Homo-oligomer: A and B are copies of this chain.
Amino acid sequence: MPIDLNILIGGAAGQGVHSITTPLARSLVRAGARVVVVQDYQSRIRGGHIFNVLRVSDVPLAGPREGVDLLVALNQETVALHLPELAPGGLLIYDAEQVQEVPPGVPALGLSLEELLPGTQAGEIAVNAGASGAVLGLLELPVAGLAEMLAESFAAKGEEVAGWNRQAATRGWELAQKFPHAVSLAGLTPPPTPWLLMSGHEAVAVGALMAGLTFISGYPMTPWTSLFNAVAQRALKYGVVLEQAEDEICAINMAIGASYAGARAMTGTSGGGFCLMTEAVGLAAMTETPLVVVVAQRPGPSTGLPTRTSQGDLQFVLWAGQDDSPRAVLAPGSPAQGYAVALKAFDLAERYQIPVFILTDQYFADSQHTCRVEDFPARRIPFALETEPAGGVYERYALTESGISPRRLPGFGPELVVADSDEHTPDGHLTEDLRVRVQMHEKRLRKLTALAGEMRGLTTAGDPEAPVVLLCWGSSRGPVSEAVSRLAAQGVAARMVHLSELWPFPREPVLSALEGAKKLVVVEQNASGQLMRLLRQETGLVGTQAVRRYDGRPFTPEYILRGLSGVV
C-alpha cells in the first residue's frame, strides 16, 4: 500500500500557517515524497480561519483528497473545526499557548515556547518551526534540511531569530519521537534530479517567460495576483517590462499597445476585472494584435467569494465582446500543463494574431504540486513577422486564404502599420464599404478553421473501453482522474476525458474520445453546467449526469464519488 497522508495546518490568518507549510512541503519533496498542497483562505488579512492541507505520498499524486491524518492547530478554532475529520490513529499537534482545550483521548503533542526555546523571546515563530520539525520527526525524516531552510528564510531578521528557528525545529522533531510513528517516510530516497514544488500560476509564469514574454500589465485581483507576482519577482532579471495599471481597462489596452509595437505581451485578471477587459478583447481581435489574457476564476456572480475557486467563467470568456471574433481558450489541468499551455498560448496568439485566453482558477493558481524537471520541456516561440521590404504598398490586413495577414512592426521600415478598431480596408483605414466589411469579417473568422485543427489537449485516463465517462476541463483534472482510479479499485470501469483546450471546440477529438460512452458524467465547478452546454452546442451530445460543485472549494475524489453514488 502506498503511503497517503494528509496533514492539515490551520489557524487564523496572520498566525503563520503558510510559514509552516512551505518549508515543510519543500523538505518532504526534497526527501523524495510526492506532495500536493492546497490552500483554503478567506478574504481578510488577519484572523478568521485558514488552513493548508499537505497530502504526502511515495507515489505520484493527482491532487488533494479529504480527511486528516495529522492536524496542526495554531488555535482553538482549528481544533474545533477539524478534529472531527481526524482519522483513527491520527495525531494532533497544537500551539499550547493558543489551544486551551484538547478533548480527552486524542493523541496530541502540545508545543509551547517554554518547551521549545526556554528563556527566549522567540514567540509564535518558535511554535511554527517546532510544529514543522515535529511533523518530520513523526514521519521519521531528518530535520537538518528543514532547520536550515527556516534559518535561511529568517536570516534577514538577524542571526538570533534564524537560530531560534533552527533550534525550535530540532526540538520539535525530538519531541515527536515519543509518539508512535504510524507512517514512516524513512524509506524514501531523494530523487537524483531534484523535484519541484510548484503552483499552477508559477508554472504559467515560467511558461510565459520561456515563451519570450517581454511585457505584462495588470491590476491586482485575487486569484490572478499570484501570477502577476510570479512574473514581477523575475521581471528585472529577465528583462520583462511590468506595469501596474490604474484599472483593468488600462491593463489590457496597454498590453495591446505594447504588442502592436512588438513586445510579446500578456495581461490577466479575474472575473470582475475581466468584465472591464472585454471591450479590448474585441479590439485585439479587430486589430489582429497578438495577446495572451489570463482569466483566473473565482466564484461569483459579482464580487462573490474572492479567495475561493470556481469554473464559472467559461461561457463568458467564449463570447465576451460584441459580435463574432476569433479567439482561443485554453484551460490547464496541472502545473506542467500550465507551462505547456502558456507556451501554446503565446504561439497561437503570435501566429494567428488573436487574443488567446488561459482560464485558471484559485485552486489551480495556489495549489502546489510535485513536478519533475522533465515535465517542462524547452520550446521556442518564434515571432511571425513580415520583415522583407514590401516594395510596393504594405497592407497590414491583406486578404489571405488563411485569414492571417503579414504583420509588421511600426518603426522598423518605411512600411506604415495602420490598425483600426473600426471596420477597415486592407491597409487599415476605416471604411464604410460594406463589401470590404464582409471580406474582412470573413477573413478574421477564417482563422478559426486552421486554429481548430490545432486544438487537441485531450487527456484520457482509466479504462479506455469503460462505458462510464467523466468529462471535465481545466483544473479539475487531478481530482477526476483520481476518482476514476478509485472507481477502478472498487471494480467499476470508468474513464476520464479532460479538456485543456476548449475553443475552437475540439469537436472531432472529443467525439472520438467519447465513443462508447453510456454514462456521460460532466464534472465541473459551476452550478449551471457550462461545459455540458458547450458540449451539446458543439457536438449534440448530452451529458447524462453531472457532478457540480460551487461552494468555492476544489473538487476532491471523495466529492466526485459521492456525486456519482447511485449513478455508477
List residues of A whose CB falls within 8 A of some B CB. 42-43, 48, 249, 270-272, 274-276, 278-279, 282-283, 285-287, 297-306, 308, 310, 312-313, 315-316, 318-325, 420-423, 432, 434-435, 437-438, 441-442, 444-445, 526-528, 530, 533-534, 536-537, 540, 542, 550-553
Contact = CB atoms under 8 A, between A and B. Distances in A.
Contacts of A534: 537
Contacts of A308: 434
Given A299-B323, A323-B299, A305 B551 contact: no
A192 B501 CA distance: 64
Contact of A442 (B48, B526, B527): B527
Given A324-B526, A540-B540, A282 B305 contact: no
A315 B319 contact: yes
A324 B527 contact: yes
Chain B CB within 10 Å, residue with most, of A274, A297, A528: A528
Contact of A316 (B283, B306, B320): B320
Contacts of A283: 301-302
Given A278-B275, A305-B422, A305-B432, A299 B437 contact: yes
A282 B530 CA distance: 17
A324 B301 contact: yes
Contacts of A318: 315, 319
Contacts of A310: 323
Nearest to A551: B434
A315 B315 CA distance: 9
Nearest to A317: B319
A300 B272 contact: no
Nearest to A299: B323
Contacts of A437: 299, 305, 550-552
B276 A272 contact: no
Contact of A423 (B305, B325, B553): B305
Contacts of A298: 322
6 contacts: A42-B432, A275-B321, A278-B316, A301-B324, A306-B422, A445-B528
Contacts of A313: 322-323
Contact of A282 (B272, B306, B526): B272
Given A48-B432, A274-B322, 8 more contacts: A275-B275, A275-B279, A282-B302, A285-B302, A301-B322, A301-B324, A445-B527, A540-B540
Given A299-B437, A533-B537, A537-B536, A304 B276 contact: no
A279 B272 contact: yes
Contact of A438 (B323, B441, B551): B551
Contacts of A271: 282, 321-323
A296 to B, nearest CB: 11
Given A304-B422, A312-B324, A536-B540, A553 B285 contact: no
Given A442-B527, A551-B435, A321 B299 contact: no
Given A278-B275, A321-B316, A322-B313, A302 B421 contact: yes
Contacts of A445: 527-528
A468 B319 CA distance: 30
Contact of A301 (B272, B306, B325): B325
A421 B324 CA distance: 30
A423 B300 CA distance: 8
A355 B33 CA distance: 51
A301 B192 CA distance: 53
B432 A43 contact: yes
Contacts of A42: 432
Nearest to A275: B279
Contacts of A312: 322-324
Report the 3 A-B pairs with minimum CB-CB distance, sorted nearest first.
Answer: A271-B322, A300-B323, A312-B323
